Amino acid sequence: MSEKKLQNIHILVTGASSGLGLSMAEALLRSGATVALASRPGSRLDEAVARLTQAGYSAVGIPLDVRSEQSVDEAVQWVRREWGKLDVLVNNAGIGMKTVNPRFLVDPQPFFKVSPEGFRNLIDTNLTGYFLVARGVTPLMIEQGKGRIINISMNHETMKRKGFVPYGPSRAATESLSHIMAEDLKEYGITVNMLLPGGATITGMIPDELRNEIESKFQLLDPKVMDEPIVFLASPRAEGITGERIVAADFKKWLQERV
């Protein structure tokens, strides 16, 4: 196990049963944090938590539907009851373009072919979900006089790419939300930053049946690209940093320029 630089740090990661969320949760656990993996209940979450606890990590699973105020409230109540504090929220839960067009990377479709139901479902998860979870944990962080929120985003190019409604708009709005949250929370000692991989990543958002076809056209990043920057943002080294947009693939350069 690596150096326990995050000992006594309690972190909630949403969308943590697979993909970027699971990779970040594992990196935080390896660094000594206590982590609640939150996602919709099911075997994926149960199996991930079982594997991590059997490896000796301080992991726990929390059932969470980020689109539901009641579900968010229940998760926050669990944190208050079991931990009594929350140091870091990683807002990561989201769904991708394959929910409205399974062939989105190889056969993009224009926005007017997206169903209203598909549009609303993705926005409710990717944007409203970030708002609801951050809104839910902020009172606890205000009581503590400190806290960190990390919102996971994506490349600006993807926000403008052909055929990327509603995923592109959902993350463009996430970044606006993040900047405003950072300003709103400065006076309370709570920081808000954005973290994005820096390219398409190998996650469940890419349909398995199209992976070979997509990999021939796009260079996909390993989810582990998020590990080092997420640990940094949760660590004492990131004290006071807020309103930043960090590209994981360029993290070392970003860090060097800050020194």
Q: Which residues are catalytic, by number?
A: 167
Residue whose C-alpha is closest to residue 224's, from 12, 10, 27: 27
Q: Which residues of 6-24 are buried (b: 16+ CB within 10 A; e: fewer)?
A: beebbbbbbbbbbbbbbbb
Phi, psi of 241 (to 5 degrees): -75, 125
Residue whose C-alpha is closest to residue 6's, from 35, 49, 44: 35
Q: Are 203 and 22 in contact (CB under 8 A)?
A: no
Tell me how far apart the alpha carbons of residues 185 and 258 are, in angstroms, rounded to a whole number.
Answer: 22
Residue whose C-alpha is closest to residue 167's, from 213, 233, 215, 114: 114
Tell me how far apart the alpha carbons of residues 150 and 134 are, in angstroms, rounded to a whole number.
Answer: 10
Length in residues, the chain: 259
